[in-house]
Amino acid sequence: MEETFGNYSVIGKQMPRVDARAKVTGEAKYAADIELPNMLWGQIKRSPYAHAKILNIDTSKAEKLPGVMAVTTGKDFGGFKWGWSGPTRDEEPFATTKVRYQYEGVAAVAAISEDIAEEACDLIEVEYEPLPGVFDPFEAMQAGAPLVHENRPGNICVEYHWNFGDVDKAFAESYLVREDIFQTPRMAKGYIEPPAVIAYWPGPNRLVFQGAKGSPYFPYRILARCFNLPLSNVRVIQPFIGSDFGGTKNDMVHCDFAAPMLAKKTGRPVKLVYTQFDELTTCLRRHPMWITIKTGVTKDGILKATYVKAVADGGAYTRMSPLTMFLVGTCMTMPYKLPNFKYDAYNYFTNNPSSAAMRGHGLYHSRFAADVQLDMMAKELGLDPVEIRLRNAIENPEPGKVYETVNEVHMATCGIKECIEKVAEAIKWEERKKTKKVEGQKSYGIGFSAATYNSGTKLSAHNACAAIIRICEDGSINYLTGASDVGQGSDTVGCAIAAEVLGVVLEDIDIKRVDTAFTPVDPGSYGSRVTVLAGQAARNAALDAKQQLLEVAAQQFGVKPEEVEIKNKQVFVKSSPDRNMSWERLVRIACYDTPGKVIIGRGYSSQGITLLGLADLSKGVGDIGTNYSFTAQAAEVEVDVETGVVKCTDNSVIAHDCGFPLNPQAVETQVQGGSYHQGVAAALYEEFKMDKGQTLNPNFIDYMRPRAYEAPMTQVMHVITNDPYGPFGAKEASEGSCCSAPPAVINAIYNATGVWINDLPAQPEKVFWALKAHKEKKKGKK
Amino acid sequence: MKGEMKELKLTVNGKPYESKVKANTLLVELLRNELKLTGTKVGCLDSACGACTVHIDGKAVRSCSVLALQANGRKVTTIEGVADGDKLHPIQEAMVEYGAIECGFCTPGMVMSAKALLDENLNPTREEVREAIQGNLCADEGYVKYIEAIEIAAEKMRGGQ
């Protein structure tokens, strides 16, 4: 059962995660589990209106309530604004003059109990002047529509226009041109742990912050600026994180400002814990997107050109929308060869909660549209869905060569062909396509898709990412990283890389949670960047430490450092392995022999910045990724043609090219999870229902999430391409399958029923009516 | 008056516990806030996510859907009471070895639901395993390895290796 990869001692094999024991026993502390002596409880006062002027906030009654220790409003922050990047700082910690979405925070309270804090919030009197709002991009784009931000005419949040090659000429030369509209749903991030934070000030100018944040160096920088502190005095200590799929846990939500401010005012630790209701009504969401896609192909199904127009609901504030819209476009030229590509992107402000990054960020929307449309065209051309994908797939570049797309995206490895072949074979497509599987009112179908995802994502600033390896005098090792494991398994992979390089075992490496007072800086857990970039930093730090030890060993053996090797905790002369000593002995000699060395290895990630330059978001050229993963998926669905209920069956396979699986088991779990929770979820289950800015289903009963009883037992196959730009050949694992799952499922529904569902999710009612219309159309034709 | 305190006696992880609680105190609040047993997580407070699953007299129960007083006189087991000292329960062992655990937030609830199943039925079908954890939401790992780990644990507990 256990598959191993490569000729390594630690990596490429099954390994238990370094944090699994703490998690399985309940010992792992998440933000809401932390308690401190003398601690107060905080609570947020929120606006009932989605769009309203704030005329006055009266906190006097709340302040007088016994047990209330402090109240804060936006005015306490002295005009501070923040955002995803310098030019997009459009959000205040608490709204001062105007609220832009329902339940936006306007004040916060700290009290001796949760109950009192809640009661005090009720006593805060806020006078509003309700304003008309805009609740989807089509309302927002109307001439004369109410403005969400007065200084942003037309409610335009992001706009890009890119043009590569000659799309019009290519369409004119195409044998078949199709234009279709697709829609992706407004989705929750869906993690089970709602935001929580505890903050305190151990000195007048020193802040400690422990929050459920997947990218701790975001709050580190933002809070330093907010409270005018030197970075050296902002200590963010990471608890365990109950998942982070981008957005909310990347940067800030109201509680992340409230806790430090209330703690500052009271001189006591302040803790705030959101409910799932708070999370689902106010926190960041996946953008709903309307995608018009026009594609031209030759008679043989070869792609000539694609034009994409993407319209997105950005919500109330900019957040990461500039990056989202870039990602929607940039990878359209992969995993298939596309010589001509045009892209128009429009992201509008609305009076909905803000949209932001989510697992499969950006690429998921356009890949869904493109890969379903590809099946539609294959059908029209009478081509097999596997065949049309293989004909267009980008070939794996020869070693040493790089493939460049028309929009200047570069890849040294691409295993998509092998991925497609593997899934077709595993699902026995050649046999299966000859028969139609129907059992009673259940109709079965198989769908294919192929996708890519950028790994080792690098943005225009804050790319610095480093690691420190400290060799203790008994041979044990501390690995310090600023990278956060939010569940993806990066702590384990970082330790494994360090162990592999140093020639020791996984158990020798100790890792603690990120603590900005000690760990080196890291951008954060987003864009599938951690394994590739923090992994490279870990490798470089371990190499540095190893070199220092090899010099000591070389002296002992009377040879040159390059003649010595360390493997399986044995230090030996390569040419005569009988001249050896144990790892522990070497370390002891290094640390104890006069004058005694302190072995600290330092390393940073360089590939993120120096490879081929950074992407230009507005022009749409260049690499957002250090390298790119490839995923092919084959999914079988069972459609109840009477009720419209669709479920995935266990006949489900994914082949994933992550370059090299450092921890194969973790790659499989990541790929299975990415496919089901954020991919199939979008295809079949999840969608927020809204009414003029109000979320109608803000709980996990009415907002349906994928559960175990419908989970496909997806088989994951590894495709090895050994990418030269990832540590030990690694690329990302998991976000690719978020992008491959929706088109595979929708194509499978078509294969089962002859019905296309272009707007996600394919919930039973939608499928029911589509089936009915299809049946009537067929009848009419007869 | 809502603040009135009521007597409460129960056993938690084999230890007797006596206290006075407000009538509206949830069992999960008692466990987390009073007893500091924070292995039991709060995800939704709607009985929808299963992160707060504990056992009452051996049955899996969402501790957010039960008042502390409803556990009066009963035996409550939380995730902290599952391992035998340093020795993990076979379900925990299988989840660790088989790589089922990602962020870990749903894990304690998942263990408790699986244990309630295997305590009664050491030979569950795959459908029974799925059903036992259908109330436990996970957000990142896809359930596949959880399901397989529970089956491996059942096999071990039956005496096979």
**pLDDT of res. B1:** 45
| Residues A48, A42: Cα–Cα separation, whole Å | 19
B83, B107, B135 ranked by CB distance to A23: nearest = B107
Please report the DSSP string for A601-626 in residue order. EEEE--HHHHSS---BTTTTBS-SSS
> Taking 70 as the threshold, does the pLDDT of residue A381 lie above it?
yes
> For B35-53, b where at least 16 C-beta lie within 10 A, e where not — what string?
bebbbbbbbbbbbbbbbbb
SS3 per-residue string spanning A193-209: CCCEEEEEEEECCEEEE
Question: Which residues are CB-neighbours of A79 under 8 A, at least 6 positions away?
Answer: none
Cα–Cα nearest to A493, from A447, A542, A457, A446: A542
The CA distance from A20 to the nearest CA of chain B, in Å, is: 6
Identify whether residues B12 and B60 lie together within a single domain: yes
Residues A752-774: pLDDT tens digits?
999 999 999 999 999 999 999 99
Identify whether residues B9 and B63 lie together within a single domain: yes
Identify whether residues B63 and B121 lie together within a single domain: no
φ, ψ dihedrals at A94, nearest 5°: -135, 140
Mean pLDDT of A124-137: 98
Residue of B nearest to A273 (CA): B42
Q: Indicate which CATH number applies to the domain containing B53.
A: 3.10.20.30
- Taking contacts as CB-CB distances below 8 angstroms, the residues of chain A near B85 are none
Q: Which of A17, A24, A113, A490 to mutate to test the interface with B (most CBs of B within 10 A)?
A: A24
Task: Report yes or no: A397 and A405 within 8 Å, Cβ to Cβ.
Answer: no
Identify whether residues B74 and B98 lie together within a single domain: no
Residue of A nearest to B37 (CA): A26
**pLDDT of res. A781:** 76
Positive/negative CA dihedral, A426, A431, A436, A441:
negative
Residues A261-318: pLDDT tens digits?
999 999 999 999 999 999 999 999 999 999 999 999 999 999 999 999 999 999 999 9
Identify whether residues B11 and B50 lie together within a single domain: yes
- Taking contacts as CB-CB distances below 8 angstroms, the residues of chain A near B43 are 192-194, 276, 700
Identify whether residues B12 and B70 lie together within a single domain: yes
Residue of A nearest to B106 (CA): A192
**pLDDT of res. A777:** 92
Q: Is A754 helix (H, G, I), strand (E, B) or coil?
A: coil
**pLDDT of res. A460:** 72
Identify whether residues B16 and B33 lie together within a single domain: yes
Please report the DSSP string for A54-77 in residue order. EEEEE-HHHHHSTTEEEEEEGGGG
Residues A67-119: pLDDT tens digits?
999 999 999 999 999 998 889 999 999 999 999 999 999 999 999 999 999 99
Task: Report yes or no: B38 and A27 within 8 Å, Cβ to Cβ.
Answer: no
- Taking contacts as CB-CB distances below 8 angstroms, the residues of chain A near B138 are 192, 673, 677, 708
The CA distance from A743 to the nearest CA of chain B, in Å, is: 18
The CA distance from B41 to the nearest CA of chain A, in Å, is: 8
Please report the DSSP string for A11-60 in residue order. TTS----TTHHHHHTT-PPBGGG---TT-EEEEEEE-S-SSEEEEEEE-H
Provide the residue range defining the domain that includes B148.
90-158
Going by the DSSP 8-state scheme, the letter that residue A87 receives in this structure is: G
Contact B48 A33 (CB under 8 A): no
| Residues A406, A464: Cα–Cα separation, whole Å | 29
Contact A17 B106 (CB under 8 A): no
Contact A193 B105 (CB under 8 A): yes
**Ordered domains of chain A (ranges, CATH):** 20-27+464-604 (3.30.365.10), 34-131+193-242+249-282 (3.90.1170.50), 360-458+613-781 (3.30.365.10)
Q: Indicate which CATH number applies to the domain containing B108.
A: 1.10.150.120
3-state helix, strand, coil in chain B (%, to 5): 35, 20, 45
Task: Report yes or no: A246 and A189 within 8 Å, Cβ to Cβ.
Answer: yes
Contact A242 B104 (CB under 8 A): yes
Divide the 161 residues of chain B into consecutive groups of 10 and give the mean pLDDT of each group.
83 96 96 97 97 98 98 98 97 97 98 98 98 97 97 93 50
Identify whether residues B121 and B77 lie together within a single domain: no
The CA distance from A404 to the nearest CA of chain B, in Å, is: 33
- The alpha-carbon radius of gyration of chain A (Å, integer) is 27
A23, A243, A488 ranked by CB distance to B139: nearest = A243
Cα A319 to Cα A254, A285, A616, A692: the distances in Å are 14, 11, 18, 21
Q: Which of B26, B48, B81 is the last residue of a domain?
A: B81
Cβ neighbourhood burial of A752 (10 Å; 0-12, 13-18, 19+): buried
**pLDDT of res. A603:** 97
Q: Which of B81, B101, B129 is the last residue of a domain?
A: B81
Q: Find the helix or strand (DSSP H, E) in which A744 lies.
A: helix A735-753
CB atoms within 10 A of CB A105: 23
What is the rounded (10 degree) CA torsion for A455, A461, A462, A464? 70
Residues A194-238: pLDDT tens digits?
999 999 999 999 999 999 999 999 999 999 999 999 999 999 999
Task: Report yes or no: A370 and A452 within 8 Å, Cβ to Cβ.
Answer: no
Please report the DSSP string for B54-93 in residue order. EEETTEEEETTSSBGGGGTTSEEE-GGGTSBTTBPPHHHH
Task: Report yes or no: B149 and B101 within 8 Å, Cβ to Cβ.
Answer: no
Residues A552-599: pLDDT tens digits?
999 999 999 999 999 999 999 999 999 999 999 999 999 999 788 999
- Global pTM? 0.97
Tokens of A63: 């302040």
- Taking contacts as CB-CB distances below 8 angstroms, the residues of chain B near A21 are 88, 96
CA triplet A185, A188, A193: central angle to 5 degrees? Answer: 165
Identify whether residues B9 and B76 lie together within a single domain: yes
Contact A276 B51 (CB under 8 A): no
Q: Which of A3, A14, A25 to mutate to test the interface with B (most CBs of B within 10 A)?
A: A25
Identify whether residues B75 and B99 lie together within a single domain: no
What's the mean pLDDT when you consider all of chain A? 96
Q: Which residue has the tokens 């929750």?
A: A188
Identify whether residues B68 and B94 lie together within a single domain: no
Mean pLDDT of A698-714: 96
Identify whether residues B58 and B117 lie together within a single domain: no
- The alpha-carbon radius of gyration of chain B (Å, integer) is 16
Contact A700 B44 (CB under 8 A): yes
Q: Which residue has the tokens 């933002």?
A: A222
Q: Which of B81, B99, B115 is the last residue of a domain?
A: B81
CB atoms within 10 A of CB A765: 11
The CA distance from B32 to the nearest CA of chain A, in Å, is: 8
- How many domains, in total, are found in chain B? 2
